[in-house]
Amino acid sequence: MGKRMSLIVVTLVSLAVAVGGYEWAEGGGMGQKEGEDWFMLQHSKHVVKTDAGDMRVVKGFGSRFIKSSIHIGFINMQPRTLFIPQYLDSSLILFIHRGEARIGHIYKDELVERSLEMGDIYRIAAGSAFYLINTAERHRLHVICSIDTSDSLGGHTFQPFYVAGGTYPTSLLSGFDRQTLSTAFNVSEAELGKMLTRQREGPIVYLSDTHSSSAWSIFLDMEQQQRLAQMRKIVRMREEDIDAENEQPTWFFRKLLISVFGKVDKRVQDKRGKTKTGPDSYNIYNRKPDFENNYGWSIALDESDYSPLSHDDVGVYLVNLSAGSMMAPHIHPRATEYGIVLRGSGTIQIVYPNGSLAMNAKVTEGDVFWIPRYFPFCQIASHRGPFEFFGFTTSARNNRPQFLVGANSLLHTIRGSELAAAFGLNEDKLKRIVDAQRESTILPSAVMRQL
C-alpha cells in the first residue's frame, strides 16, 4: 500500500516537473510597486506556443495584502487545430472572442460536447478533463478566459495535466508503470511506447490527416472500449490505495480517468450537435443590455443569469462606449474587477480611496487592467471610435456598482443640508451642481455637451 502511494506521489511530482507548471518568479515587477503599473497587468507569459497556436497568461495581481486568484488567459488557435485533452487544477471561464469552437469536457462523469460561437461564455471546472477544437476551415479562434487558481495545487500558480500526449507534452499516462499500462491497454509495451512518444508538437496541434495516427486521435476516436474497461480497473485499484491513506488525491483519478475512459460511449448529441446533459453556454452578445442610452451600453452576467458562474463566484461583464463617452465614476463595493480591451482605445482613471489619483492610463486593444474593490474609477472612450471592453468580477452575485456622479449617483440619493455642509456649500449651489448632469451611468463627452 505504502509503496503504491509513494509511486503515485512520485508520478505526480514527475508530471509537475515534466510539464513545468505555469509558475512566475516572485518579484517580477508585481506586488510591491504602486503607481500606474500597479493597475495594468503587463506581466504575461506564453504557457503554450506551437505552430498550431498559443496560449498566453496575464498574471493577476497578488500581494501580501490584496490576494486575487484570477489570471487572464488568451488562447489563439489556427484553423483545424486541437488543444489536446488536459485538465487544470484551476477552473476556467471561457469567452469566445472570435471564431468558433467545439469543446469537450467531463461533467458529472459524462463527456459533454458543445459547439461554441462568438460571444459564448462557458465554464470548465478545475479537475475536469477537456479539449478544445477550432473547427473552422479558415478562421482563427481567439478565446479569452479567467483562470481561477483558488483550488490549485500550488496556490497562485496553475498546472495542466495532459491526458494524451507524447514527449511534448508528456501524457500523464506516461507516469504509469509500462507493464501495468500494457496490461491495461492489452497491447504490447512496444506498441504502447509508440503511442506515448509520437506526440512532439506540443499541446496545440493541427487536426490534419497526417497527424491522425498520433496519441490524441486515439483519445478522440475511442474505439477501444475493451482496452479502456481494463484501464478502469487499474484506476479503481489505485484509487482504493489512495483512499486508504489520504482522501485528497481521489478526485485526481475519479474525475479524470474513470470518467474520461469509462463513459465516453454515452455521448448523446441532439441535432444541433449539443449533448443533452450538462450546462449550456451563454451568449453574451445575444443578451439585451442591462443598461443602454445614446452613449453606450453595458451587460453584467451574474449567477442568476448563468448558474455555472456561482461555482467560482465570478461575474462577467461587457461594456461598449461610443466615441468620447464615459462610464461615470463609480465603485464596486463587493468585487475586484478585471478588464480586457476588445476594441478601440480609451483612458482608465483610478483613484485611491483616500482621494488621490492612482492611475490615469491610456489603453488599447489587448490591454488588461484591474481595479481593486472600493477604488473609485471611470473608463473614457477616445474620440476616435467606440471603446469595447470585457472582463470578470470577483463576485457572481449582483454586484451593484455605486455611482459617484450622474443622475443615479450617491450624491443624488444623499443630497440635503448635511451633504451641502460636508462640501462647504449652501444647498442651492450643491443642488445646481448635482442636478446639472441629467444622464446616468454612461455620460456624453465634453464635446457633445458643448454642442
For 232, the grid coordinates are 478502469
Q: Which stretch binds ligand NAG (CB under 6 A): 148-156, 210-218, 309-317, 352-360?
A: 352-360
Under the binding rule (CB under 6 A), the answer on residue 120 touching ligand NAG is no
Local structure of residue 114 (DSSP, 8 states)? E
Minimum distance from CB of 200 to ligand NAG (Å)?
28
Q: How far is the CB of 322 from ligand NAG (least distance, A)?
A: 4
Residue from 336, 359, 357, 348 nearest 72 by CA: 336
**Binder to ligand NAG among 150, 157, 186, 408 (CB under 6 A)?**
186
Contacts of 354 (CB under 8 A, 6+ apart): none
Contact between 320 and ligand NAG per CB under 6 A: yes
79 near ligand NAG, judged by CB under 6 A: no
Kindly state the cell numbers that stand for 101.
469552437
Do 192 and 178 form a contact (C-beta atoms < 8 A)?
Answer: yes
What grid cell was written down for 278? 450538462
What is the distance between the alpha carbons of residues 337 and 371, in angstroms, rounded to a whole number? 5
Least distance to ligand NAG, CB of residue 352, Å: 4
- Scan residues 127-166 and list those touching ligand NAG (CB under 6 A): none
Nearer to ligand NAG, 103 or 359 (CB): 359
C-beta closer to ligand NAG: residue 90 or 322: 322
Q: Which residues contact 428 (CB under 8 A, 6 or more apart)?
A: none
> C-beta of 242: minimal distance to ligand NAG in Å?
25
Q: Check residue 291 for interaction with ligand NAG (CB under 6 A).
A: no
Each residue 222-241 as x (binds ligand NAG by CB under 6 A) or -, in order, gives ----x---x-----------
184's CB contacts (< 8 A; 6+ apart) are 176, 227, 230, 231, 233, 234
Beta carbon nearer to ligand NAG, 157 or 230: 230
404, three cell numbers: 459617484
Which of 45, 232 has the CB closer to ligand NAG?
A: 232
Interface region with ligand NAG, contact rule CB under 6 A, candidates 36-44, 83-91, 132-140, 348-356 = 348-356
Instruction: Give the integer Cα–Cα distance in Å for 312 and 123.
Output: 10
Cα within 13 Å of Cα(444), Cβ side:
12
User: Scanning the structure block, which residue is given the C-alpha cell 478544445?
Assistant: 132
Site mask for ligand NAG (CB under 6 A), range 3-42, x = bound: -------------------------------x--------
E strands in 201-267 = 204-206
Tell whether residue 356 is a contact of ligand NAG (CB under 6 A): yes
DSSP code at position 118: T
**Nearest distance in Å: CB 66, ligand NAG:** 12
Applying CB under 6 A, which residues contact ligand NAG?
34, 186, 226, 230, 320, 322, 352, 354, 356, 386, 388
